[in-house]
Amino acid sequence: MTLMLGTALLAALLAAVVVPRLPDVVRELQLPLAHEDIIRQQASQKQLDPSLLAAVIYAESRFRDATSHAGARGLMQITPATARYIAKLSGGTQFEQGDLSTPQINISYGAYYLRYLLKRYGGNTVLALAAYNGGEGNVDRWIVDASMSRRAFVIDQIPFAETREYVTRVLDARASYREKYSRELGL
């Protein structure tokens, strides 16, 4: 009898504590968010949409610090070569590859690079995201090809399936982050 009462009490306690938080738990599993303070700070400093920055992190790493098979590191999956390029562009002189595992540095570098790409491509988010994933040289060629064919460059014309899917995934995630995390991202 005592065991049944204890089990019932535990079930009631779990229901009272877990059930109300279940929507939040499901949301965090489906669309994780971490380091929102750094995201807000870097978005503000780099004049970026914080939901776009969160969406890039989501698409790159799902907010897990990892190293890819290509050597890209951290939340924003920055390769050492790209990090050296960003350090050169930004005047950073103390860059060390190990720093890419630090969320503050990784998000700062990724936000800097995203801002640079947006500026380079006239504020065109599709082109900036395509360059973040597929490289600036490729995007430059795609723009030339589109202009030679006298057509506008659109997502469907990105020749790399991975990059095309990446751009779509980031744009979809940005909309979801705006909707589900507007308070956390300061929107």
Query: Of 127, 132, 89, 125, nearest to 110 (Cα)?
Result: 132
Q: Give the CA radius of gyration of the chain.
A: 20
Among candidate residues 60, 96, 136, 162, the one labeled active-site is: 60
Residue 65 CB: number of other CB atoms within 10 A?
14
- Catalytic (active site) residue 162: no
Catalytic residue ranges = 60
